[in-house]
Amino acid sequence: MKKLFVLLLVSFSLTQCTAIKSKTTTTLPVKNAVTAKIDKTEPKLIVGIVVDQMRYDYLVKFYGKYGDGGFKRLINDGYNLKNVHFNYIPTYTAVGHTSIYTGTTPSSHGIISNDWYDKFAKKSIYCVDDDNYKTVGAPSGGNKSPYRMLTTTITDQLKLAQNMRGKTIGIAIKDRSAILPAGHTANAAYWFEGGDEGKFISSTFYLNKLPDWVNEFNSSGKANDYLNSTWNTYYDISTYTETLPDNNDYEGLFKGKSTPTFPYNLIELRKDNGNFSLLKLIPAGNSITTDFAKAAIIGENLGKRDAIDFLAISYSSTDYVGHQFGTNAKELEDTYIRLDKELESLLIFLDSEVGKNNYTLFLTADHAAVEVPAYLNSIKIPGGYFNPEEFREFMNGITTRYFKSDDLIENISNYQIFLNKEKITALNLNAQEVSQVIADEIINFENVYKSVTAHTLQTTSFNSGILQTLQNGYNQKFSGDVLFTLNPSTITYSKTGSTHGSGFSYDTHVPLLFYGNGIKKGKSDSPYFIIDIAPTLASFLKITEPNGNTGNPIIEVLK
């Protein structure tokens, strides 16, 4: 028995020594965790592409017009997730870009719209305005920062995971589309200043002067060259059979042009359409975005250092074209045909400049868009238009009838009603009671579909449907006292062109394509949310997800 005890003791000691030795030889050589993490199997560059106002069905509808090197390359050689939706209201640009990169909804990240009523400052504010900073590269347009975004982004988390090594650059025509994806720790975000400037600018939040490569780009004359031309269809217009006739009743007009028809003489139109601002409204806005992204890759040496870089690109002109002409116009079709060529050019450039297996890319959209309601009505599909002025009068009638005052509403914006709390207190009224009466009554207004109080959203958990998406978009600190939505295919807009913002599928269903290093080839009809992108990247990069993350990693796309 004594011998057995000694034998067991020796055996245990040897096992422990082996374990300690094994642990020691594993950890001692790793002097720098970041250096150890980066190796040849990981990408050197992550590229995030957001196409502003891209419906999922544009991948299918225009598939026959795309070449093999753009959308089709991403679809066929990457992973195509065909059933991805936004899970909140409102589906606007700033909210979409933020949700994609933070992995959460407005309830957590705090960007509740492009602009919204600040109930503390008693004024409307813009999502990225920040008077603490100044414009870099132009007289104005750059007093911006991401400080209103309360959570981190996947771009922030990548910087944190690498002890602030690695570069993050955000690029877009729109300021919010460059700033919010790039996060709080970005090296720079650049956006296009139109008017008489015609250049990419930034903010002192990032840097005090533009790098030489940006100045060289701005001095190259590219913006002017794109406008000293004519916009005509890429292919013969007779082959554009996927959209309505070129001259139809549902398209908006450029100033100085009597019909919404090709060709568009840009040299003449720029005079009446904001000079360089016209570039935003045509496919060439996407072209100069691609040009600038390529210049950034070279100028910042992205994807060629001992850390992982992140380039966040947003193509904004698709949104401007969609708003102007609608979802079923020849102009929109041509814009996507040309965007396909831009993607092909960008992918070829990434192959040669960064290396085919050295980058990982995703492409999605910040929201989709509704078919023009006037067109839907013409083919007997329900749809309509909301009149804000008539609604305000209706609201005053409610408060006068129930509470003997037409001064209880402080602001109505973004389909949210902000109560005048001071007036309610002065009249010895109960704010919750006032809110509930309003929510119960406004459902009787034409085209109001759902209404709910902030109190209900705070005390009730909705697990499906429109009220769930409203709840995900509701932020207790910033949102209004009553929220409401409109009937399907009902908008506050002109009867030409299109818009977005609802929680219905035409606004929520967007493409999501993953491609490159570490990504499988395949496709899936499984349902996912847009907030799943950030945790997917976090899982792939083996880093912590953004600090407000509520999404889940899409494991099936990863090798």
User: Among all residues, which ones are annotated catalytic?
Assistant: 93
User: What CA–CA distance (Å, rounded) separates 491 from 376?
Assistant: 12
- Neighbouring C-alpha atoms within 13 Å toward the C-beta of 283: 21
User: What CA–CA distance (Å, rounded) separates 427 from 235?
Assistant: 66
Total Cβ atoms within 10 A of residue 484:
21
Lookup: tokens for 526: 């499984």
Query: Among residues 41, 558, 74, 536, which one has the least CA distance to residue 346?
Result: 74
**At residue 271, what are phi and psi to the nearest 5 degrees?**
-65, -40
Q: HEC string of 247-301?
A: CCCCCCCCCCCCCCCCCEEHHHHHHHCCEHHHHHHCCHHHHHHHHHHHHHHHHCC
Q: State the DSSP string of 58-82.
A: HHHHTGGGS-TTTHHHHHHHSEEEE
Distances (CA, A) of 320 to 106, 128, 281, 327, 489: 24, 19, 5, 11, 19
User: What is the enclosing helix (H) or strand (E) of 375?
Assistant: helix 373-378
Total Cβ atoms within 10 A of residue 362:
24
CA atoms 200, 201, 206, 208: torsion sign? positive
Residue whose pair of structure tokens reads 């209103």 in the numeric block: 148
Distance from CA of residue 175 to its chain's centroid? 12
- Neighbouring C-alpha atoms within 13 Å toward the C-beta of 221: 2
User: What CA–CA distance (Å, rounded) separates 269 from 279?
Assistant: 11
User: What CA–CA distance (Å, rounded) separates 145 from 431?
Assistant: 34
- 291: amino acid identity, one letter: D
User: What CA–CA distance (Å, rounded) separates 538 from 366?
Assistant: 20
The SS3 of residue 242 is coil
Total Cβ atoms within 10 A of residue 28:
8
User: What CA–CA distance (Å, rounded) separates 293 from 189?
Assistant: 11
- The β-bridge relationship of strands 168-172 and 309-315 is parallel
